[in-house]
Amino acid sequence: MAERYDFTHAERKEKIIRICISIGLWVLSVAVVIALAWLIVFLSIEKTTMVDASMDPTLMQDDRIVIDKMTYRIRDPKRNEIIVFLQGDSEHSFYNIKRIIGLPGEKVRIAEGIVYINGEVLEEYANVENMLLPGLANYEITLGEDEYFVLGDARNNSEDSRYATVGNVKRSEIIGKAWIRTNKFGFVNSLNKKQ
């Protein structure tokens, strides 16, 4: 006598296997998406707070800033962009926020409150006051191939590249571009822009 084959049991077993595979693939897909999203966020954005008044009126003390860490992995920083950089030795380092004025290889000088780049007057991007103290830039400063000259927008209330405590900012010290102010929403590089 021939043995009977139970087709309903085999079909049910095959259906359960297909469902398990579908669920497993779905769980794996969700896990991969979450991991990728976490990596993208971890590698491309960060938050910080403006700790002083050196960027008034563009950024005020206690403004919360989102840092775009991805842009400068693709291209170099540009003049007038507001950057976040690491200042100080590794044990006592902190984030500082300033506007890029001088680019690598350029010569920067400040005379009678006006910034000169390679002997030409810098056309200011933001509404800023004339500087009373040129600091180290009283004499022409030649930037290295990996150095940037930065100033705070509160030109008479900013510790920046004019002073030895900050000096020229090396490319490796730049964390990223100040991107969004979150407490009073705005894109940072469009704030306080000259008309």
CB 66 within 8 A of CB 82: no
Residue 19 to residue 132: CA distance in whole angstroms: 74
Q: Amino acid identity, residue 157?
A: N
- Decide if 22 is catalytic: no
Cβ count within 10 A of residue 176: 23
Residues 6+ apart with CB under 8 A from 50: 59, 60, 61, 62, 63, 64, 65, 97
Catalytic residue among 69, 98, 161, 177: 98
Side-chain-side CA neighbours of residue 102 (13 Å): 34
∠ Cα 172 178 182 (to 5°): 145
- Decide if 98 is catalytic: yes
Residue 117 to residue 142: CA distance in whole angstroms: 10
Question: What does the chain come to in residues?
Answer: 195
Catalytic residue among 54, 69, 161, 177: 54
State the catalytic residues.
54, 98
